[in-house]
Structure 1
Amino acid sequence: MKKFTGLLALALIPTLLLQPALAQEERTALVPLPSLDDFTRGQDGWAFGLGLGIEYETAYEGSDEFGFEVDPAGAVQWRRGNDIFFFAGEAFGWRGLRSDTWLLQALIGFDEGREEGDSDKGNLDGLGDGEEGLEFVFEARRAFDADWRNWLVGRVVASENGNLGLFGVGRRFGDKFDGSGSEINLVAVFHDSEFANKDFGITAQQAAASGLRETRMSGGFRSVGIDYSYRHIVNKNWQIFGEVLYEYYSRDVRNSPIARSNFEAEVGIGFLYVF
């Protein structure tokens, strides 16, 4: 999800001639997107960031309950040219910049699954715990220019419990190339039947145990979402980051007895120390 640019003026030719050098000097992040951690400061080799984030979010997919959660933040990264390999939490991955306007990213992560105890109201009683499993994620972003003001984004999540796809547009705000500033993305999300039933389906056995209506989900359109990311680089070592996410479910999802709310939402803020 990302942003836009434009410049004109013959009278400023001398200034424009200096801009490539200045942009090169400022472009310390692989791509200047606040949603992507880059602790390398434009240098090859190892980089480390460690911090903490606090989120206020829905308890599970479709929940009408909210709560706070504190999570570690940061990553271990290794950069060589336009490629970064990273380990962050439960994910290991790679991202690479190609032709200045293509960002490709692939990672392997771990989905902890939903737990019956995620609902304090007992709304999940009788449904049991969801299955854990590995997730394989591939993402591509295509910018309309090298400044990464506007772009298209596509993401595919393939897991042991089904598949999900995301497609959208984004815009970046701010003039720096160090990853600070903010960005906004608007996306449409699709899932197959297996992924849909993982979150919103109810088997006959679960229906008997929970008292909820047996529900079999089909694949297709899942939701539309908007995501806003912010990053402020305080100094060489300290960063502040934040995110706001809102996802509105499709009619099919809203009709599931598990979906006690029409949307999912999340607000988060945190800090990072870059070594």
Structure 2
Amino acid sequence: MKKILAMIALALTSAAWAQTSEFVNTIPEAYLQKDTNVTLGAAALSVPKYTGSDERRLAAYPMFDVQWKSGAFFSATNGLGYNFSKKPALQYGLRLSLEGARDESRSSKLNGLGDVNTAVEPGAFANLSLSENYALVSSVRYGSGTDHNGLQFSVGGRFSTALSENHRISATVRANWANSAYLQSYFGVNAQQSAASGYNQFTPSSGVTDIKLSASWRWALDSNWSIVTGASASRLQGDASRSPFVFQKNPVTVFSVTTYRF
């Protein structure tokens, strides 16, 4: 119970600016060693100040992950949810995820646009392993944006292979679609924002927001400690790329995570 309370405290600590992964990546029940499996750690990142920014910032936050053999999970990357499938090759279920905040104070280029607060997004996910190395992944999330009516749908493919007993590499390619409410919140400029910021009014339509390629390398130092280092590169698409405050259409994130498994 103490470990679970610690997970909740960590979640509240980082919720103001952390963001859940688009896809759920959990260990199938058959491979879990315990009824409750807990991992703690820390992450360091170099990221754009906001999506479309040509300025960067450094960030660090606690990492946590807990999985139960029942199918429940709660983590900084997967969110809070439940996997209903008992088949190792198939995962599907419901979850709550986080869409990170975009604070106006983060960059002078956001002046006049106002804040978009962190949002809790109810949604669903489905993953299908085609083989030991390849999987199809997908998710749908609702509730982000200024009025909490943003909808996102992500699909992709994941590759993972062991280089040795202690080293594994992974790569994911994905496309993200969003409705007009999401795009208006994160890329649009209404009349009031235009007057305050100096940007022209911009009303984006629903569509594909970006294509992203991610790659990572996991180094298991021993049976408990591991380090994951990686990067992701996106290409903004459609109306998202045409926003008047998008100055970099190819945002890149670099990260390193150190974890300890109990």
Same fold (TM over 0.5): yes
Aligned to 1:64, which of 35, 49, 54? 54
Q: Deviations over 1:65-110 (max 9, x none)?
A: 1111011112233223xx2422448932223554332122532133
Aligned to 1:193, which of 177, 180, 193? 180
Letter in 2 for 1:58: P
State the alpha-carbon separation in 2 of the partners of residues 234 and 132 from structure 1: 35
1:61 positional shift? 1.1
1:175 positional shift? 6.5
Pairing 1:116-155 to 2, within 5 Å after superposition: 116-119=104-107, 122-145=108-131, 147=132, 149-155=133-139
Check conservation: 1:39, 1:47, Cα contact below 8 A: no
* Higher RCO (CA < 8 A, seq sep 6+): 1
Letter in 2 for 1:128: G
Number of the residue aligned with 2:151: 163
Letter in 1 for 2:37: A
TM-score by length of 1: 0.77
State the alpha-carbon separation in 2 of the partners of residues 217 and 129 from structure 1: 18
Letter in 2 for 1:110: L
1:154 positional shift? 1.6
Give the paired residue count: 234
Aligned to 1:109, which of 97, 116, 128? 97
Letter in 2 for 1:44: K
Pairing 1:84-95 to 2, within 5 Å after superposition: 84-88=72-76, 91-95=79-83
- Alignment partner of 1:213 is 2:213: no
1:43 positional shift? 2.2
1:215 positional shift? 0.6
1:256 positional shift? 0.8
Letter in 1 for 2:47: E
Number of the residue aligned with 1:26: none
Check conservation: 1:109, 1:136, Cα contact below 8 A: yes
- Alignment partner of 1:181 is 2:145: no
Number of the residue aligned with 1:6: none
State the alpha-carbon separation in 1 of the partners of residues 207 and 111 from structure 2: 27
Letter in 2 for 1:240: I
The higher radius of gyration belongs to: 1
State the alpha-carbon separation in 2 of the partners of residues 36 and 177 from structure 1: 20
1:42 positional shift? 2.3
State the alpha-carbon separation in 1 of the partners of residues 189 and 27 from structure 2: 41
Aligned Cα root-mean-square deviation (Å) = 2.5
Number of the residue aligned with 1:47: 37
Give the SS at the match of 1:230: strand
State the alpha-carbon separation in 1 of the partners of residues 57 and 225 from structure 2: 27
Q: 1:142 to 1:177 in 2, by over 3 A?
A: farther
Letter in 1 for 2:251: E
Check conservation: 2:65, 2:74, Cα contact below 8 A: yes
Flag structure 1 segments of 5+ consecutive residues without an equivalent. Answer: 1-34
1:52 positional shift? 0.9
State the alpha-carbon separation in 2 of the partners of residues 110 and 239 from structure 1: 25
Letter in 2 for 1:106: L
1:111 positional shift? 3.0
Q: 1:244 to 1:90 in 2, by over 3 A?
A: closer
The worse-fitting range, judged by mean Cα deviation, of 106-115 and 262-271 is 106-115
State the alpha-carbon separation in 2 of the partners of residues 161 and 60 from structure 1: 20
Aligned to 2:65, which of 61, 69, 75? 75
Number of the residue aligned with 2:4: none
The worse-fitting range, judged by mean Cα deviation, of 168-177 and 215-224 is 168-177
Number of the residue aligned with 2:235: 248
Aligned to 2:211, which of 205, 209, 224? 224
State the alpha-carbon separation in 2 of the partners of residues 54 and 129 from structure 1: 24
Check conservation: 1:117, 1:124, Cα contact below 8 A: yes
Check conservation: 1:39, 1:48, Cα contact below 8 A: no
